[in-house]
Amino acid sequence: MRKLILKAGVFCMAFTLLVFGIALADPQSIPNGPWIQDEQTVKLEALTSMEELQKKLFNIYARSKGRMEVEVAGETTLGIPIYLAKFGEADDDKIRVLIEGQIHGGEPLGAEACIEVIKQLAASGNKDIDEILEKLTIWIIPRLNPEGATYEEDDELVQRRTNEQDWTPDEWGLPEDAPPPWYQYGQYGWWDPPGYDVNRDSNPDLDFVLGPANAYLLPGNPSLPGFFVTPEGRAVRDVYKQLRPDVFIDLHHRGTNLMSEEDNSMCILQILAQVVDLGREDYPLDPAVLDFSKQINAYVYQRLNEMGNSPFTNIQRYPDVNLPGTTLGTFSLNGSAIMLYEVRTAKQKSSGMLTKQVIIGLMETFKGLADGSIFYVAPHDYDDILPAGPRIGNPHLIAE
């Protein structure tokens, strides 16, 4: 990992270098780009840009009185930094938590929630926060996929799911005609210009390196691992290897579901504790890890429900998936309990509420881990959470 630990004395210099020394993406505008969902009307200009993200992180850092460090965990193919906010070091005596926002560039509210959580952890002197930071090490990557997050068409920010990286077989010592990984959207005509779905690029073998000896695995498929061909996938993998988190939380968006056939109110949030089938011989998921994942998900579900009002009660379980190549899948197979947040993609007026829901969920998780109350939740409480209801809205939406 390229380290950029900022100490107070060198803060101004480091900040200047970062702000002026980084070439931000200059994506080309293209005709016939990805189709934008009607529902995807989070007002994009209201979102935090990369420049603002940098400034916000370093402003929070400057006020954090040593609670927090900011590092560059990696760099995209276009040279955009991937930031990591660290509260504490990888300490075996602490509960270690890693949070990932915006691995899908077109799903921006996770990054917004992360920024607010970072602010709360860094600035507050209240005793809940003190207890959290005493018991927990928390590392947060607010925006893992800045290329997708800054993607423009006709000089307008549109964002998109993938990064902007093309298939480069020679980089892996492979012949020109080697098939690209299945999640290279450009190569299979799904997307132009090309890009990878970074959230299919992980491999439960954290040391996997694509090369001639294992090229027979290409192109792979959704029920198999990815190939760590993206710098974003490798960046979060490297952070993971350093921290070895007990808990990994991933923040996404999805379209709209109704609560059920009978109840046509909208589901606001879907959560999930398992993304790899139990009992796979090739990728065995530890039942104890699954139980801990269920405890965390059920705990958040219960805390949000206690708040009342539909924003916090219309919660469902995300549909079952079997995806070892997602960060959630790979990290759960390496022993981390997991939680997936999929907030509804919504009109601007709802996005503050949707972000708030994630912030509350994350802060409650920290508190529950710090005071131990999560460990008293029955894992089977999770199984009572309503399954996903009927889907409404856009038929072209690619699965989240």
Of the pair 27, 110, the CB lying nearest Zn ion is at: 110
Q: Which of residues 246-285 bind Zn ion (CB under 5 A)?
A: 252
Report the greatest alpha carbon distance in the chain. 61
Q: To the nearest whole angstrom, how small is the minimum distance from the Cβ of residue 103 to Zn ion?
A: 7
Please say which residue, 107 or 164, places its beta carbon nearer to Zn ion. Answer: 107
Q: Which is nearer to Zn ion, 107 or 364 (CB)?
A: 107
Distance in Å, CB of 27 to Zn ion, minimum: 20
Helix (H) or strand (E) segment spanning residue 15? helix 11-21
Q: How far is the CB of 199 from Zn ion (least distance, A)?
A: 6
Nearer to Zn ion, 107 or 232 (CB): 107
CB of 252 to Zn ion, least distance (A): 3
Return phi, psi of residue 189, to 5°. Answer: 75, 10
Nearest-angstrom CA–CA distance, 376 and 298? 11
293 Cβ contact list (under 8 Å, min separation 6):
273, 274, 332, 337, 338, 339
Whole-number minimum distance, CB 109 to Zn ion, in Å? 11
Residues 159-218 within binding reach of Zn ion (CB under 5 A): none
The least CB distance from residue 318 to Zn ion, in Å, is 11
Our CA angle for 243, 249, 253, nearest 5°, is 145
Residues 89-108, mask of contacts with Zn ion (x by CB under 5 A): ---------------x--x-
CA–CA gap between residue 269 and residue 249 (Å, rounded): 14
Smallest gap from Cβ 175 to Zn ion, in A, equals 33
Residues 115 and 120: their CA atoms lie apart, in Å, by: 9
Run of H or E including 95: strand 95-101
One of 164, 197, 246, 400 touching Zn ion (CB under 5 A): 400
Binding mask 214-253 for Zn ion (x = CB under 5 A): --------------------------------------x-
Nearer residue to Zn ion within complex by CB, 108 or 379 = 108
Burial category of 287 from C-beta neighbours within 10 Å (exposed 0-12, middle 13-18, buried 19 and up)? exposed
- Dihedral sign, CA of 46, 47, 53, 57? positive
Applying CB under 5 A, does 344 fall inside the site for Zn ion?
Answer: no
| # of chain residues touching Zn ion (CB under 5 A) | 4
Q: Which is nearer to Zn ion, 104 or 317 (CB)?
A: 104
Site for Zn ion in 101-140 (CB under 5 A): 104, 107
User: What's the DSSP call for residue 324?
Assistant: T
- Cα angle 289, 286, 367 (rounded to 5 degrees) comes to 5
For Zn ion, give the closer residue by CB, 201 or 400: 400
Q: In the complex, which residues of this chain contact Zn ion (CB under 5 A)? A: 104, 107, 252, 400
